Amino acid sequence: VMRVTPQPPSPAPSGTPEQSQARVVRYEHGTAQHTVDDAVAVEEPLEIRLGRYDEGRLQHRPVSITMRTPGDDFELAAGFLYTEGILQCRAQVQEIHHCGKGKGLTNTLRVDLSPGVTVDVQRLERNFYTTSSCGVCGKTSIEALATGAVPVAPPPGFAVDARLIGELPARLQAQQHTFRSTGGLHASALFSRAGELLTLREDVGRHNALDKVVGARFLADALPASDTILFLSGRASFELLQKAVMAGIPVVCAVGAPSSLAI
């Protein structure tokens, strides 16, 4: 397939990752056959800023830039700040809002802390740029990877039927509506121990999809997620496992094999 003409994005239904359209020429057996419109997953930068009160005045500073699929931005920001160890509970957040309206302005988002809340400024000073493919490559040192994760404590008697694990990919794919049309999104999903889908988020970035899932639980004041199963549509990387531990998730299943550091 050769893409020749990008088309403007079309509005996405509420809660659905954004899609764009591209005019493509389809080739079969080396010969151009016909031209069609193809769905493409949207990727745009999001700057996350943190607002906190200093001597009675609200000051804000940039924390991170990530390439993401627009949608569920509040959850993404909250989940990112939680899994990075900057936030610990929902009460610390006074408000989350985009910094403007109109084209491009919704790509900057601010998380305002409640009055009296303090954060680890040294951790914030490790500003980093996060790509959609890997969330740790921009961190400035190995020490920056230490987010204060502690061992996960599942509820007494927590167990998962081994047969259920093999069924999770199909249950996830049945709900990945945007992936079916674009083929370009990762997914993270929380299931109950019985296999009921609780939360599903898609994004061009694996870590973004998981941050959105964790952020949804954070904003609902439902962390730790100690009674859930996390399913990942890709491989089980170090950063995704670290985020799962931060969220208190006791079981992680993934399509791809884990790395040594993830283990």
Query: Residue 79 — φ and ψ, nearest 5°?
Result: -65, -40
Q: What kind and span of H or E run contains 41?
A: strand 31-41
Selecting among 89, 134, 137, 253, the annotated active-site residue is 134
Which residue type sits at 152? V
d(CA 79, CA 83): 6
Q: How far is CA 204 from the centre of its chain?
A: 9
Per-residue pLDDT of the chain (263 residues; tens, 9 = 90+): 444 444 444 334 345 666 778 888 887 777 778 888 888 778 788 999 999 888 778 888 888 888 888 899 999 999 999 998 899 999 999 999 998 766 556 789 999 999 999 887 666 665 454 545 555 554 544 455 566 778 888 889 998 988 899 899 999 988 887 776 667 789 999 999 999 999 999 999 999 999 999 999 999 999 999 999 999 998 888 889 999 999 999 999 999 888 877 88
Q: Which pTM does this prediction carry?
A: 0.79
134 given a catalytic annotation: yes
What's the one-letter identity of residue 42? V
- Give pLDDT, residue 215: 98
